[in-house]
């Protein structure tokens, strides 16, 4: 059963909804709506990871997160926290966080120490960025950048998926050697600017998700409203605005759902839950209950 992770940004400057849920009451209202829409887990983040985001000190992250986590846990909601800071990890785990979602894959030894003795599941993300923030840098040959999108090669000579597989094999071995149980780990291949500014890199990862799932650990995918969707739908010179990427997002999420992922992290939980419900009904041949008067 695929688990849906609803995104809750308690930030000033997230690329899709920065500032909307900075107030704790607004954040709680949105979180409860996400849960009502079918989210199994609420992923709360207090620092954006987009390329132009502000730096948020650990104490400010904790201040933003604490009232939201406390109230959600009181409502018996599963909570994931999106952070790379060890001090934040320790605090939210003490508050009862069920998952830690780290875009740096616990690269800080202090982060490993912070989570080692907890029972929380751990989402470790592959990224080609140098830190905890996505980058607009181009990490692929310039010749590929000059080709029209529809004519670019789907796979560079050394494929992005090969690199992702090598990264996860190495990182899982390192974390288990450091005392993290393998069964706690969830693999996120990264998407959009975390891979590169070139949309075909994210598309290549989607095409080959089953290779990542074959590593034998749950896979989490978060394509929601990402830059590569805007580029595909609108072209790189005039990308589709974030507010108009809903249908493209849903297409990528349904693809992921049918190619081996265990978790999908999304802004629009209701659309994805409804689409998955319909797909399941079609596959199983389910017949809706008759309406009164039919």
Question: If 0-12 CB within 10 Å is exposed, 13-18 middle and 19+ buried, where does residue 247 land?
Answer: exposed
In the structure encoding, which two tokens stand for residue 2, read together? 């695929």
In the structure encoding, which two tokens stand for residue 191, read together? 């998407």
207 is catalytic: no
Answer for the pair 144, 153: CB distance below 8 angstroms, yes or no.
yes
**Maximum alpha-carbon separation in the chain:** 64
Q: Which residue, chain included where needed, has tokens 């992290």?
A: 265
226 is catalytic: yes
Q: Which residue, chain included where needed, has tokens 């071995």?
A: 173
Question: If 0-12 CB within 10 Å is exposed, 13-18 middle and 19+ buried, where does residue 263 land?
Answer: buried
Answer for the pair 222, 188: CB distance below 8 angstroms, yes or no.
yes
Cα(56)–Cα(132) distance, integer angstroms: 12
In the set 133, 225, 226, 245, the catalytic residue is 226
Answer for the pair 161, 209: CB distance below 8 angstroms, yes or no.
no
In the set 90, 121, 152, 265, the catalytic residue is 265
**Residues annotated as part of the active site:** 226, 265
């Amino acid at each position: 059963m695929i688990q849906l992770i609803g995104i809750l940004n308690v930030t000033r400057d997230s690329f899709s909804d920065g500032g909307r849920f900075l107030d704790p009451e607004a954040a709680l209202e949105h979180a409860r709506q996400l849960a009502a829409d079918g989210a199994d887990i609420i992923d709360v983040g207090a620092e954006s990871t987009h390329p132009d985001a502000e730096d948020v000190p650990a104490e400010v992250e904790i201040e933003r997160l604490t009232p939201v986590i406390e109230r959600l846990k009181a409502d018996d909601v599963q909570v994931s926290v999106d952070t790379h800071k060890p001090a934040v990890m320790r605090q939210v785990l003490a508050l009862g966080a069920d998952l830690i979602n780290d875009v740096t894959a616990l690269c800080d030894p202090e982060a490993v120490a912070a989570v080692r003795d907890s029972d929380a599941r751990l989402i470790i993300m592959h990224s080609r960025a140098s830190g905890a923030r996505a980058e607009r840098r181009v990490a692929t040959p310039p010749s590929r950048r000059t080709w029209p999108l529809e004519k670019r090669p789907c796979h560079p000579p050394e494929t992005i998926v090969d690199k992702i597989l090598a990264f996860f094999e190495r990182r899982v071995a390192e974390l288990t050697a450091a005392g993290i149980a393998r069964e706690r780990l969830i693999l996120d291949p990264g998407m959009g600017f975390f891979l590169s500014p070139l949309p075909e890199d994210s598309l290549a990862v989607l095409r080959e998700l089953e290779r990542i799932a074959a590593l034998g650990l749950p896979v989490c995918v978060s394509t929601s409203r990402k830059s590569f969707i805007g580029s595909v739908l609108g072209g790189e010179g005039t990308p589709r605005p974030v507010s108009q990427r809903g249908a493209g997002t849903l297409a990528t999420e349904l693809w992921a759902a049918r190619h081996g992922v265990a978790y999908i992290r999304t802004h629009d939980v209701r659309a994805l839950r409804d689409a998955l419900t319909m797909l399941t009904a079609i596959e199983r041949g389910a017949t809706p209950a008759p309406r009164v008067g039919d």
